[in-house]
Copies of this chain bind each other. A is one copy, B any other.
């Protein structure tokens, strides 16, 4: 759920391997799986077992780890402790990172009290809000401070990562405050797009979007069962002057009213509208 960026090509000035964003996103899954394996006393693990524990296919795992220079040993697999250490190092988890949390509403409150961050490399080091009723409250021994204190606290605590759980309208101004204070990574829970300068990384967690993606799959499965769908493809809208002669389809109003006829047949995959389409 990154904001449409790729890990830029590195390698010139850094010793970190250049990794595709998708590989970076899977490394923490391997790490979590390795910790679970270590907890049950495993010293080595095959790529198949590690892949199963991480919920990722084995070929992809081997390719990912090969990019770190890790190949395992034939008949033995990967050394759990070594690989754990290596992935932790690549992810920059050798040090516990201090994280700020801005917006101590319902979700912020839950995150402030979440026990799962500590064991995985993060320490919530500062809480901020603007609401008088929240200021001065203490959560897990940490005082909720005013966002006006962000610059001071970020500097004092050495914070480079912030979680943003404000309402959407407040997210951009707060992000600006954080960036000006020196924060260079933001995990944004507000359902909006943040504008940040180069060098600042933003990842999004939008819980309603997660449900909407599952809703698509529910819709897909229901359609597959019944052989019908509420979906009616919208026919291309002809532009007034540039419409070609085949572009005579009208806008399918049925899609607009969400009660399309059941017998609308969508184009098969691979069929393009290129002849009848007026691209904007």
Residues of A within 8 A of B (CB): 1-4, 7, 9-11, 13-19, 24-25, 27-29, 31-33, 36, 46-47, 52-57, 60, 62, 66, 68-79, 81-83, 85-86, 88-94, 97, 99, 106-107, 109-111, 113-114, 116-117, 120-122, 160-161, 163, 184-187, 191-193, 199, 201, 203-224, 227-239, 242, 251, 255-258, 260, 264-269, 273, 277-280
Contact = CB atoms under 8 A, between A and B. Distances in A.
A216 B205 CA distance: 17
B208 A117 contact: yes
Nearest to A228: B15
Given A13-B227, A230-B89, A116 B191 contact: yes
A113 to B, nearest CB: 5
A92 B226 CA distance: 14
A187 B201 contact: no
A274 to B, nearest CB: 10
A4 B71 contact: no
Contact of A207 (B68, B93, B116, B265): B116
A39 to B, nearest CB: 11
